[in-house]
Amino acid sequence: MDRSLLDSALAEDIGSGDITSRYFIPPGQRGRARIVARQRMVVSGLGPAREVFSAIDAGVGVSVAVADGDALESGGVILEAEGLVRSLLTAERIALNFLQHLGGVATLTRRFVEAVAGTRAAILDTRKTLPGWRALEKAAVRHGGGLNHRMGLHDAVLVKDNHIAAARAAGLDLGAIVGRVRAENPGILVQFEADTLEQVQEFVGLGADAILLDNMSLDELRRAVALVGGRCRTEASGGVTLETVRSIAETGVDLISIGALTHSAPAADISMELRGLPDEVRQTPCGPPD
């Protein structure tokens, strides 16, 4: 996890200090907390959650009951933490934010993966991620059983309609550009986005490693797959939902990319329960803040 993301999360939530806990929680009070799933979900974000507790108080002990990628029923325990109650409560929301968002991504991904089970299609993410969260969100997709598309503009070539329009307006030859890319970047993936079957035919001829079939109908997808004939990978993209993904997979495409995995995943329903407080401690007045 990028430490700057953790530092930013701590700074925006805690600021100059947790005023509520400073007034209402005695400084030496200790307890235990459990983070529990309130729905069926796939776990992701355990590393960041542990780092939150450690950053706030190195004396907090955290034990995880599951692993990233595990499926939980409602009521299942994700992790337990023990230490100063002030520290537990200060860490609560930040840890839950990581677990809820990343668990939501993993859970939605698992639903898509299960929807295409038995077909050849794999589920991919996109670059439609929250700034600063990409590595974590893409890890959550993997925890849900999906695969990662390129991490960024630096590790794969995806030639889209705007690239093609600009290159042709400049009089450049697409085939020559592909040759230069491969010569200067050995092993890099070269993919073209196609809106029509004519483009599919053209891009296969250019030696593309993969063709992204953008917003094509089911019939167009089937015809594109037949046209490619296994010479490169085919990827369907655009407006994919849980209701349509099975039909798309059954056209024979190799990959289905879905931006909603990261930009629209509902947060998983998770809560933290404070435990292990003796009655006499619960009833002890706090007095003035330290």
Which is the catalytic residue, given 92, 125, 214, 235?
Answer: 214
Which is the catalytic residue, given 127, 160, 222, 233?
Answer: 160
Which is the catalytic residue, given 93, 182, 222, 223?
Answer: 93
Is residue 138 annotated as a catalytic residue, yes or no? no
Residue with tokens 């230069």: 180
Measured distance between the N- and C-terminal CA atoms of the chain, rounded to whole angstroms? 33
Which residues partner with 210 through β-bridges?
Answer: 191, 233
Is residue 193 annotated as a catalytic residue, yes or no? yes
Is residue 280 annotated as a catalytic residue, yes or no? no
Is residue 93 annotated as a catalytic residue, yes or no? yes
Is residue 214 annotated as a catalytic residue, yes or no? yes
* CA-based nearest residue to 273, from 83, 40, 32: 32
Which is the catalytic residue, given 193, 220, 235, 254?
Answer: 193
Which is the catalytic residue, given 32, 34, 128, 223?
Answer: 128
Q: Which residues make Cβ contacts (< 8 Å) with residue 132, sequence separation at least 6? A: 2, 4, 5, 8
Starting at the earlier edge strand, list the strands of the sheet with 255-257: 122-124, 255-257, 233-237, 210-214, 190-194, 157-159
Question: Letter for the amino acid at 185?
Answer: N
* φ/ψ (deg, to 5) at 219: -65, -45
Q: Tell me the catalytic residues.
A: 93, 128, 160, 193, 214
